[in-house]
């Protein structure tokens, strides 16, 4: 099954819309609650990253009985050093974003911990693509 969502950069009140929708879908599909939690947490962090760091983005979700694949494609500043960005505690978040409770530098590491596959690709000045997968049968 395929689903798509849009993300609006800068709009924190809408961040989490896609992860909430996906959660509803996975509950209806009788996916193990523990797996749902991992998926939702990972997607939520990735959504917030687009809202916080990029201008606009799109989410593509594919679900089959073996795995859940999620791709987020954004237009934004891109990530100059992905290895660094993946490190816990690394953040370039502005003071304004930090005031909203984001910017601890935990997002990408959290995505990594909750997914079975994670691939981040980025072009500075253009945008970032985050691909993740969670397997349903271990």
Partner 1 sequence: MGNTNFHHALKIREDLCIGCSHCMNVCPTEAIRVKNGKSVLFGDRCVDCGECFRVCPVSAIIIDHDDFNNIFDYKYRVALVPAVFTGQFPVDISLRQIFSVLIDIGFTHVYEVENGVEILLEAINETSTPQPEKKPLISSFCPAIVRLIQVKFPALVDNILLLKPPLDISALHIRKEMEEKGIPAEETGIFYVTPCAAKIAAIKDPVGEAASAITGVINMDILFNRVYRQVKQKNNHTCALPSGSKLSNVAMCWSLTNGEAPHVKGRSLAIDEIKNVIEFLERLENDEFSDIDFLELRACDESCAGGVLTISNRFLAAERLRNHVENFQPNPELQYPDSLRSIYQNSEYLQENISIEKVYPRSILKLDDNMAEAMKKMERVNRIMQLLPMVDCGICGAPSCQALAQDIVQGLGNIKHCIFIQKILEQKGELNLEDSVKIMQDIWGYGKTNKYRDLKGI
Ligand X SMILES: Nc1ncnc2c1ncn2[C@@H]1O[C@H](COP(=O)(O)OP(=O)(O)OP(=O)(O)O)[C@@H](O)[C@H]1O
Residue 77 is classified by DSSP as: S
Q: Is 100 in the site for partner 1 (CB under 8 A)?
A: no
Backbone angles phi, psi at 40, to 5 degrees: -65, -40
Q: Is 81 in the site for partner 1 (CB under 8 A)?
A: no
Q: Is 98 in the site for partner 1 (CB under 8 A)?
A: no
Q: Is 107 in the site for Mg ion (CB under 5 A)?
A: yes
- Strand residues in 1-138 grouped as ranges (E): 2-8, 56-63, 67-75, 117-123, 127-135
Residues 88-107 that bind ligand X (CB under 6 A): 90-93, 102-107
Binding partner at 31 among ligand X, Mg ion, partner 1, none, C-beta below 5 to 8 Å by kind? partner 1
Nearer to ligand X, 18 or 31 (CB): 18
Q: Which of 56, 59, 54, 51 is nearest to 102 (CA)?
A: 51
Q: Is 1 in the site for partner 1 (CB under 8 A)?
A: yes
- Residue count at the site for ligand X (CB under 6 A)? 25
Residues 2-41 that bind ligand X (CB under 6 A): none
Binding partner at 105 among Mg ion, partner 1, ligand X, none, C-beta below 5 to 8 Å by kind? ligand X
Nearer to ligand X, 68 or 85 (CB): 85
Residues 39-78 that bind Mg ion (CB under 5 A): 49
- Separation between Cα atoms, residue 130 and residue 124, nearest integer Å: 14
Two tokens at 116? 């079975």
Q: Which residues of 3-26 are buried (b: 16+ CB within 10 A; e: fewer)?
A: eebebeeeeeeebbbbbeebbebb
């Amino acid at each position: 099954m395929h689903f798509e969502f849009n993300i609006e950069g800068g709009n924190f009140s809408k961040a989490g819309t896609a992860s909430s929708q996906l959660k509803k879908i996975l509950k209806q599909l009788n996916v193990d609650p523990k797996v749902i939690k991992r998926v939702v947490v990972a997607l939520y962090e990735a959504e917030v990253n687009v809202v916080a760091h990029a201008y606009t983005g799109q989410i593509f979700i594919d679900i089959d009985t073996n795995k859940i694949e999620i791709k987020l494609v954004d237009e934004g500043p891109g990530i100059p050093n992905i290895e660094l960005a993946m490190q816990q505690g690394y953040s370039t978040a502005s003071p304004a974003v930090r005031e909203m409770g984001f910017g601890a530098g935990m997002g990408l590491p959290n995505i990594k911990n909750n997914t079975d596959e994670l691939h981040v690709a980025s072009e500075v000045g253009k945008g970032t693509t985050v691909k993740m997968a969670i397997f349903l049968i271990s």
